[in-house]
């Protein structure tokens, strides 16, 4: 668990998740899916029960090949990230992928950078040689964050997401070598 002071003076904690976070995490994802066009799901598509979410958190806590970190402010979960092997087979165990989500009110305060530090130190401890992610090509804030940490765009996935209104966006595949 690490405590940070954000750009606006708020104090947040970044830590591993606990089973009791389940309700808070469901609220975070539900809200973020409504706020952001840069995430995988349409609003309302994320559906889970409290019990199922608790089971998922329990398995993540026990899993040695992946981890989540949550950002907590005033007892509320305002951000979450995941890091883990892209596949568990021996031939893939040098590669990890990461994903980030922060609710709108807490974006641009530095939480993404702090969560990235936690993910990268998890990667160092797990002998990861390259970290990979996908990002919508118009998500300038996320791309800036990743470039700040030396991620490079290595490919474009055309028409990666198709929205309900029939429009498409590309995604960049980005990699950081450790």
Rounded distance between C-alpha atoms, residue 23 and residue 12, angstroms? 19
How many Cβ atoms are within 10 Å of 65's Cβ, its own excluded?
12
Q: Which CB, 54 or 70, lies closer to ligand COA?
A: 70
Q: Does 110 bind ligand COA (CB under 6 A)?
A: yes
Rounded distance between C-alpha atoms, residue 107 and residue 169, angstroms? 22
Question: Which of 30, 108, 130, 137 is the binder for ligand COA (CB under 6 A)?
Answer: 108
Question: Which of 24, 36, 82, 118 is the binder for ligand COA (CB under 6 A)?
Answer: 36
Alpha helices in 3-139 (DSSP H): 22-35, 50-62, 111-125
Q: How far is the CB of 29 from ligand COA (least distance, A)?
A: 11
Q: How far is the CB of 77 from ligand COA (least distance, A)?
A: 13
Three-state SS sequence of 150-161 = CCEEEEEEEEEE
> Of 112-151, which residues contact ligand COA (CB under 6 A)?
112-113, 135, 139-142, 144-145, 148
> Of 84-103, which residues contact ligand COA (CB under 6 A)?
100-102
Q: Which CB, 120 or 142, lies closer to ligand COA?
A: 142
Q: Per residue in 1-18, is it b (16+ CB within 10 Å) or e — as a string?
A: eeebebeeeeebebbebe
Q: Using CB under 6 A, list all residues that contact ligand COA.
A: 36, 38-39, 100-102, 107-113, 135, 139-142, 144-145, 148
């Amino acid at each position: 668990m690490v405590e940070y002071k954000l750009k606006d003076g708020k104090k947040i904690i970044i830590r591993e998740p606990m089973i009791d976070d389940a309700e808070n995490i469901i609220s975070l994802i539900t809200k973020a899916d409504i706020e952001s066009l840069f995430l995988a799901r349409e609003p309302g598509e994320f559906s889970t029960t409290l019990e199922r979410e608790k089971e998922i958190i329990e398995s993540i806590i026990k899993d040695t090949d992946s981890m989540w970190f949550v950002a907590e402010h005033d007892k509320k979960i305002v951000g979450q990230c995941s890091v883990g092997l892209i596949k568990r087979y021996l031939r893939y165990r040098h590669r990890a992928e990461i994903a980030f989500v922060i609710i709108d009110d807490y974006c641009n305060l530095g939480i993404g950078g702090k969560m990235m530090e936690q993910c990268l130190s998890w990667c160092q401890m797990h002998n990861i040689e390259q970290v990979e992610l996908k990002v919508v090509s118009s998500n300038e804030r996320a791309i800036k964050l990743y470039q700040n940490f030396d991620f490079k765009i290595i490919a474009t996935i055309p028409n990666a997401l198709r929205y309900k209104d029939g429009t498409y966006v590309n995604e960049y595949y980005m990699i950081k070598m450790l």
